[in-house]
A and B are shown apart, each in its own frame.
Chain A
């Protein structure tokens, strides 16, 4: 399973939508229910699934799914 696929599975779980297909350019505006509350759930779920930890600066500069994916990949190296 690629990182992208694993991340997609987390998105489906957090947003409770099995048909959700993520893409790098996708932003919060494109996903129903992606608000500041579910964003936190998403971050916590990603951190625990990949066993990584983002710092404040990274968290505040993610602009889309691609940024998040890139950061995960750089951490799991």
Chain B
């Protein structure tokens, strides 16, 4: 079930009721059973089996790493665990991609050669819990965390339903203690969690799904459009993706908050970043932290003799891996590669850029900030073309026709009607205002300290917005696919 479905709105109160009846001692049992049921509603039993397999292997290897005295045994447990987890991921997500490409290659050698292609499996959630399992093993191996001895809490750490399908990817040190200690029911947290959930749902059902109308029209048939239309569709996609994913994250954080658990914030106004490096500190934070800590840093250390070249190579490899993590397709590999190139090249030009800014005395200039923000946004959007396009050839078509006229623009906006256009525009203004209000007020006072009429105005406005303007599409979240 999706967070934006009626079933979920019934499921969460039922979990609450069960928690109330079960008491603190069996809290983990209720949450774990609820999480398994939640995963089962996707109607693929093998997903639950994969989760069980990864949980069992990771749990045992974690204890193995900690108990062994000898370094080589620690290492053996570590690599067995990581290897087994990655094998599950590879089997479920990458096998069709590997088989397809292998067959293409074999076809080139001889037309009779081919490996059998298996059926494509649904792998929702697998990339997330496998990544979390690997991060746990690394932390135990590096002795940054103790291995969890209680199988129930450990299973819940991987399966906890608010973050199961699409993250945030939680570090053991952040989530496990909360699962052990959190007491259910705190009025403040329920109120804050509900508001966050509602706000996330609004972002998803009103804003992101409506932006999708325009984006899907263009990206569904890119050859019918050129120039300005492609630019606009790509900008809109950047915001669709942001509202889709940050909306989801708000709903995940909101649900967890109602259960007294704080999950990691995944976004911090990423499109206001002034460099691609900063963008990755503000976009999908829980994931980029993993990529940096578990792929980039070890590689950077390994390549340290190469100095800047070593760092650049580590960045490129880390972001290619990040691309592959998103999906087994060449589009994602190119997308990751582009970010890798942006970051790797900045290793070389950044010191010069700093010197130049100092010499021109523009270091603190507001204009420079605006320019850097816009430039970064465009670099990110350029890479989104590959992220969104249906195929590599579609993406290259878009890139090749960015500066050619603006065909299809009027039709695109006319086709969706004036109401949707108005809602999109009003939502845009609303999002911007909320951002500005939050930026100014956050440090001074809490929303829940605001006068009654403001609070209830927001509650009612949000509810009305959701009731009247939701897209009713029950559309899945984009990041489910990864």
What secondary structure prevails in chain B residues at the interface with A? helix
B220 at the interface (CB under 8 A from A): no
Look across to chain A and name the residue whose beta carbon is closest to the beta carbon of B299: A56
A23-65 interface (Cβ within 8 A of B): 36-37, 40-41, 43-44, 56-57, 59-61
Q: A37-B347, A61-B142, A61-B143 are in contact. Are A56 and B302 (CB under 8 A)?
A: yes
Instruction: Decide: B311 and A60 in contact? CB cutoff 8 A.
Output: no
B120-155 interface (Cβ within 8 A of A): 141-144
Inside 8 A of A44's CB, which chain B residues have their CB?
A: 304-305, 307
Look across to chain A and name the residue whose beta carbon is closest to the beta carbon of B292: A36
Q: A57-B142, A61-B142, A61-B143 are in contact. Are A40 and B304 (CB under 8 A)?
A: yes
Inside 8 A of A43's CB, which chain B residues have their CB?
A: 301, 304
A: interface residue count bin: 10 to 19
Instruction: Decide: A60 and B304 in contact? CB cutoff 8 A.
Output: no
Inside 8 A of A61's CB, which chain B residues have their CB?
A: 142-144
Instruction: Decide: B298 and A40 in contact? CB cutoff 8 A.
Output: no
- Report the bound CA distance from A44 to B143 in whole Å: 24
B465 at the interface (CB under 8 A from A): no
Instruction: Decide: A60 and B347 in contact? CB cutoff 8 A.
Output: no
B246 at the interface (CB under 8 A from A): no
B297 at the interface (CB under 8 A from A): yes
Interface size on B, residues (CB 8 A): 17
- Report the bound CA distance from A47 to B300 in whole Å: 15
Instruction: Decide: B305 and A60 in contact? CB cutoff 8 A.
Output: no
- Chain B window 185-210, contacts with chain A (Cβ cutoff 8 Å), 1 for yes, 0 for no: 00000000000000000000000000
Inside 8 A of A40's CB, which chain B residues have their CB?
A: 300-301, 304, 307, 310-311
Inside 8 A of B296's CB, which chain A residues have their CB?
A: 36
Inside 8 A of B141's CB, which chain A residues have their CB?
A: 57
Inside 8 A of B307's CB, which chain A residues have their CB?
A: 40-41, 44
Instruction: Decide: B301 and A59 in contact? CB cutoff 8 A.
Output: yes
Inside 8 A of B308's CB, which chain A residues have their CB?
A: 37
- Report the bound CA distance from A60 to B135 in whole Å: 13
Instruction: Decide: B297 and A60 in contact? CB cutoff 8 A.
Output: yes
Instruction: Decide: B142 and A36 in contact? CB cutoff 8 A.
Output: no
B451 to chain A, nearest CB (A): 39
- Chain B window 274-318, contacts with chain A (Cβ cutoff 8 Å), 1 for yes, 0 for no: 000000000000000000000011101110110110110000000
Look across to chain B and name the residue whose beta carbon is closest to the beta carbon of A54: B301
- Chain A window 5-32, contacts with chain B (Cβ cutoff 8 Å), 1 for yes, 0 for no: 0000000000000000000000000000
- Report the bound CA distance from A57 to B298 in whole Å: 9
Inside 8 A of A60's CB, which chain B residues have their CB?
A: 142, 297-298, 301
- Report the bound CA distance from A43 to B306 in whole Å: 13
Inside 8 A of A56's CB, which chain B residues have their CB?
A: 298, 301-302
B316 to chain A, nearest CB (A): 15
- Report the bound CA distance from A36 to B300 in whole Å: 9
Highest count of chain A CB atoms <10 Å: which of B143, B144, B301, B305: B301
A74 to chain B, nearest CB (A): 15
- Report the bound CA distance from A56 to B298 in whole Å: 7
Inside 8 A of B311's CB, which chain A residues have their CB?
A: 36-37, 40
B300-353 interface (Cβ within 8 A of A): 300-302, 304-305, 307-308, 310-311, 347
- Report the bound CA distance from A56 to B305 in whole Å: 13
Look across to chain A and name the residue whose beta carbon is closest to the beta carbon of B71: A57
28 contacts between A and B (CB under 8 A): A36-B297, A36-B300, A36-B311, A37-B308, A37-B311, A37-B347, A40-B300, A40-B301, A40-B304, A40-B307, A40-B310, A40-B311, A41-B307, A43-B301, A43-B304, A44-B304, A44-B305, A56-B301, A56-B302, A57-B141, A57-B142, A59-B301, A60-B142, A60-B297, A60-B301, A61-B142, A61-B143, A61-B144
Closest CB pairs A-B (n = 3) = A59-B301, A40-B304, A61-B142
B interface residues, Cβ below 8 angstroms from A:
141-144, 296-298, 300-302, 304-305, 307-308, 310-311, 347
Given A36-B300, A61-B144: 13 more A-B contacts, CB < 8 Å:
A36-B296, A36-B297, A36-B311, A40-B300, A40-B304, A40-B310, A43-B301, A43-B304, A44-B304, A56-B298, A59-B301, A60-B297, A61-B143
A interface residues, Cβ below 8 angstroms from B:
36-37, 40-41, 43-44, 56-57, 59-61
